[in-house]
Structure 1
Amino acid sequence: MSLRANLVLATCTACVLVLGAVPGTAGVAQAHAVLPKPVAYPARGQLAHQQAMDDGACYGWARQQTGVDPSRIASAPVPVIVPGGERVVGAARGAAAGAVVGAIGGDAGDGAATGAAVGAVAGGIAHRQHRRQAAALSAQMQSSNDWALSSYWQAWTACMTGRGYSVQ
């Protein structure tokens, strides 16, 4: 290989490593924040045992009214999609195609180096697109979970308030 081809190949390899193209090292991981349970205070002197019974009854009623079970939502993690390796795959494909084209032109090494650089850039574009899609999916699922929990806690609050509790 020529000095130019070696330089291009070394530069591509460095870019791939610096940009984090090693499979599994880049991804979307978002914390799943669960809406906290409101606190109910006895407003009519209810004892702890009575409050526990009322809480259970309101749990069932709110679940029936909303179709939401907060224990399922709280235990269901938002999916984490970990894309990775697109740059490496792109560089490999580009190098293979470049070597074929370069061999026709008389210098497979230069063709492979140029193809690897182009492939790494194309793989980087695919990598960023996958990350955006994963982030959008995670945000959508988190928003849906938050809305469902909010609806459930509103129903639970109405039930507990009706049973003589002050809810905050």
Structure 2
Amino acid sequence: MKTPLRRITFLVGALFASGTALAQELYIYPAKGQSAEQLDKDKYECYSWAKRDTGFDPMAIPTATTAAPSTEKRSGGVVRGGLGGAALGAIIGDSSKAAKRGAAAGGLIGGVRQSSQNSAAERERKEWEQREGSNYANNRNNYNRAYSACLEGRGYTVK
């Protein structure tokens, strides 16, 4: 199942798993006596400006910037290696004993190779998760800086 919802759910989970908090809420104080209505208006205008300026919308559901690597583990390395080894053993040794030895050696090599490929795919997946989590955190940080600058320019204290 490779739906966008699954990717989104996975990305949000990856963000938390990688230790990246989604976002810290900003505290906004009206330092020049602005009313609640003025605060709401300024917050919306600064949200719109920061979103436009950074290209990041904190209200949107996080999505991956690149396609996730496959999580499908491959199998059959032992069988393929065994068949290849048996065929090679039969050709080289010209006996059933040589074919059996070739099959055993081929199966062992095929199994080790398949395990190595699956480990590499798992490492690639973890690197992707960390990269996506880091991208999200950087984009959110840039948005927060722009949003804070806008509000501070309008006379608010932002922490």
Shorter-chain TM-score above 0.5: yes
Question: What corresponds to 1:103 in structure 2?
Answer: 90
Change (3 A) 1:85 1:61: closer
Change (3 A) 1:37 1:81: farther
Question: What corresponds to 1:154 in structure 2?
Answer: 145
Question: What corresponds to 2:50 in structure 1?
Answer: 62
**SS of match in other structure, 2:29:** strand
The size of the alignment, in residue pairs, is 139
Post-superposition shift, 1:125? 1.4
**Structure 1 range deviating more: 62-71 or 153-162:** 62-71
**Structure 1 range deviating more: 28-37 or 44-53:** 28-37
Map 1:14-163 to 2 at 5 A.
Answer: 31-32=14-15, 33=20, 34-72=22-60, 74-77=61-64, 80-86=68-74, 88-104=75-91, 105=93, 106-107=96-97, 108-163=99-154
Unmatched 5+ stretches in structure 2: 1-9
Post-superposition shift, 1:53? 1.7
**SS of match in other structure, 1:75:** coil
**Alignment RMSD (CA, Å):** 2.6
Provide, for residues 19-41 of structure 1, a one-character-per-residue CA deviation record: whole Å limited to 9, x for no partner: xxxxxxxxx98621422332212
Task: Check the 8 A contact 2:82/2:102 in 1, yes or no.
Answer: yes
Return the alpha-carbon distance in structure 1 between the equivalents of residues 140 and 57 of structure 2: 8
> Structure 1 length normalisation: TM-score?
0.68
Return the alpha-carbon distance in structure 1 between the equivalents of residues 155 and 33 of structure 2: 9
Task: Check the 8 A contact 1:44/1:165 in 2, yes or no.
Answer: yes
Return the alpha-carbon distance in structure 2 between the equivalents of residues 101 and 162 of structure 1: 76
Which residue identity lines up with residue 31 of structure 1 in the other structure?
A
Return the alpha-carbon distance in structure 1 between the equivalents of residues 26 and 55 of structure 2: 19
